[in-house]
């Protein structure tokens, strides 16, 4: 096997074609480099990276939930409204009943869960298409936001603002860096090395192909390099700043949900349902339950995203959440999910979201107006998906094509065999 093929096969995740995802990561790197040069080095400054993470973490959190919804073959248009509704409920509750802010967060998540159960009920047990249920939800909860808030802007407590505008504290000796961020980076490095080693072990015990040593080392080098770079950048921001708390919440969610969707039965059921609902049901997947949980989960994440935005904005306002659903959906599709369901990864969506975020940020740094930014983002979304469709029709390079085949043979759990999930989630972790 030639070394190039080795690389392609092993470096960017798995033996199945991950070219699309590789393509997106490549695009992301290209965008970063392009803007880094164009803006004269502003893109990768600590201040800007910190700003980007805290600005887009809530969209990326939505993208996690949206990916699962889309993989299951649904769509959720109500996330922005649910976020705004939760935001105003929490802000009002804290203002009028002066409940402490941790309780406010719990209340917000509970509100999200109740809304999610409501939408999940209609989708899963009554069988109304998710498009309709969430379109109704979009109106319902937007109206609810205005009804409760009197279309007013309600400020929130300083403590609450931690989840959206907070940073890790400065502790320990003066190293010239934020020490806690350094520790997180170190933990990330160790985690990556440990998992790489563990993967090799597993493959060896299973008598599978073990990637050549040089590939492992190269991959580790790239990943560690990125992690070290990101860590030092985030740790060297203005005193009092660090990796934002919202970024940490995002990373935890990305790791958790990546594991869930890749390595647990419940997670694989989502893919099975989205690939072929009937086949999945016949093979014993509890269809209704999966649909219900996916929709409910989305609303809980939307509630969290709403609270993070409110915390960052220091107040809940009537314009919160407007067109968030579109940003989240765009991130998921740019990240390689299929419109028909059954395909897509959390890490892909995060990369897709980051492409949009960095594009937005870079254009804003260049002083490009919001009108042009929207035009460019629209074109990027169209081209990213068109690229995949084209490749599929040419019968090459298509992650969709290569993964759909097992489905059409009626083997719903087949795509579970993406054996090398590792590098992608790491990209997300670094970027997050």
Partner 1 sequence: MRKFLTRSLAVTGAVALLALSAACAGEREGATGAATGDSTSAAKGFAADALIGVALPSKTSENWVLAGDLFTDGLKQAGFKSDVQYAGASTTVADQQSQISAMVTKGAKVIVIGATDAAQLATQVTQAKQSGATVIAYDRLITNTPSVDYYIAFDNFKVGQLQGQALLDGMKAKKPNGPWTVELFSGSPDDNNSGVFFNGAMDVLKPLIDKGDLVVGSGQKDIKQTAIQGWKAENAQQRMDSLLTSTYNGNKTLDGVLSPNDTLARAIITSVKGAGKPIPVVTGQDSEAESVKSIVAGEQYSTINKDTRKLVAETVDMIKALQQGKTPEINDTKSYDNGVKVVPAYLLPPVIVTKANVAEAYANDPKLAPLTK
Kindly indicate which of the ranges 19-27, 98-106, 233-241, 332-340 contains the residues binding partner 1, using the contact rule CB under 8 A.
233-241
Tokens at 34, concatenated:
């392009």
Contact assessment for residue 416 and residue 268, using Cβ atoms and an 8 Å cutoff: yes
- The region, left, alpha or beta by phi > 0 then psi within -120 to 50, assigned to residue 335 is alpha
Residues 386-415 that bind partner 1 (CB under 8 A): none
Handedness of CA 375, 376, 379, 384 (dihedral sign): negative
Smallest gap from Cβ 278 to partner 1, in A, equals 38
> Within 26-45, which residues bind partner 1 (CB under 8 A)?
39, 42, 45
The footprint of partner 1 on residues 188-217 (CB under 8 A) is 212-215, 217
Nearest alpha carbon to residue 46 among 179, 180, 189, 177: 177
Q: How far is the CB of 148 from partner 1 (least distance, A)?
A: 13
The verdict on 315 binding partner 1 (CB under 8 A) reads yes
CB of 113 to partner 1, least distance (A): 25
Query: CA-based angle 118:103:123, to the nearest 5?
Result: 10
Reported residue count of the chain is 432
Q: Which of 30, 37, 47, 382 binds partner 1 (CB under 8 A)?
A: 47
For the segment 128-187, give every residue that binds partner 1 (CB under 8 A).
146, 150-153, 155, 161, 164-165, 176-177
Beta bridge partners of 154: 316
Residues 48-87, mask of contacts with partner 1 (x by CB under 8 A): x--x---x--------------------------------
Written as six digits, the tokens of 242 are 């660090």
In the three-class reduction of DSSP (H, G, I as helix; E, B as strand; rest coil), residue 63 is classed as helix
Near partner 1 in 343-372, by CB under 8 A: 360-361, 364-365, 367, 369-371
DSSP sequence for 300-364: HHHHHHHHHHHHHHTEE-TTTTTTHHHHHHHHHHHTT--TTSS---HHHHHHHHHHHHHHHHHHH
* Residues within the interface to partner 1 (CB under 8 A): 39, 42, 45-48, 51, 55, 146, 150-153, 155, 161, 164-165, 176-177, 212-215, 217-218, 220-222, 224-226, 228-229, 232-233, 236-241, 309, 312-315, 317-320, 322-324, 327, 360-361, 364-365, 367, 369-371, 373-374
């Amino acid at each position: 096997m030639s070394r190039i093929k080795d690389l392609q096969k092993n470096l960017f995740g798995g033996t199945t074609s991950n070219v699309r995802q590789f393509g997106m990561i490549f695009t992301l790197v290209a965008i970063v480099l392009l803007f880094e040069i164009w803006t004269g080095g502003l893109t990768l400054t600590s201040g800007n990276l910190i700003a980007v993470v805290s600005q887009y973490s809530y969209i990326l959190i939505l993208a996690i939930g949206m990916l699962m919804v889309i993989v299951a073959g649904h769509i959720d248009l109500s996330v922005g409204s649910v976020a705004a509704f939760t935001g105003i409920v929490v802000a009002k509750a804290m203002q009028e009943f002066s409940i402490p802010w941790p309780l406010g967060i719990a209340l917000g998540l509970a509100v999200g869960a109740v809304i999610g159960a409501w939408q999940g009920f209609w989708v899963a047990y009554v069988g109304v298409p998710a498009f309709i249920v969430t379109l109704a939800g979009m109106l319902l909860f937007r109206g609810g936001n205005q009804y409760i808030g009197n279309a007013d802007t309600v400020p929130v407590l300083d403590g609450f603002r931690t989840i959206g505008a907070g940073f890790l504290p400065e502790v320990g000796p003066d190293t010239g860096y934020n020490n806690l961020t350094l520790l997180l980076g170190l933990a990330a490095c160790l985690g990556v090395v440990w998992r790489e080693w563990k993967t090799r072990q597993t493959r060896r015990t299973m008598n599978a192909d073990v990637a050549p040593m040089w590939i492992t080392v190269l991959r580790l080098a790239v990943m560690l390099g990125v992690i070290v770079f990101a860590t030092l950048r985030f740790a060297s921001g203005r005193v009092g700043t660090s990796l934002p708390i919202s970024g940490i919440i995002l990373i935890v969610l990305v790791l958790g949900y990546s594991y869930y969707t890749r390595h647990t039965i419940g997670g694989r059921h989502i893919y099975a349902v989205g690939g072929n609902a009937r086949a999945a049901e016949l093979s014993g997947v509890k269809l209704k339950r999966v649909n219900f949980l996916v929709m409910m989960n989305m609303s809980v994440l939307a509630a969290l995203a709403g609270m993070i935005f409110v915390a960052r904005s220091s107040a809940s306002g009537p314009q919160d959440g407007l067109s968030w659903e579109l940003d989240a959906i765009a991130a998921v599709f740019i990240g390689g999910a299929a419109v028909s369901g059954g395909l897509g990864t959390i890490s892909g969506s995060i990369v897709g979201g980051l492409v949009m975020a960095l594009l937005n940020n870079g254009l804003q740094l260049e002083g490009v107006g919001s009108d042009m930014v929207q035009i460019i983002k629209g074109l990027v979304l169209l081209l990213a998906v068109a690229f995949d469709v084209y490749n599929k029709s040419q019968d090459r390079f298509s992650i969709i094509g290569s993964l759909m085949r097992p489905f059409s043979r009626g083997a719903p759990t087949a795509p579970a065999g993406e054996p090398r999930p590792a590098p992608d989630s790491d990209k997300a972790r670094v970027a997050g």
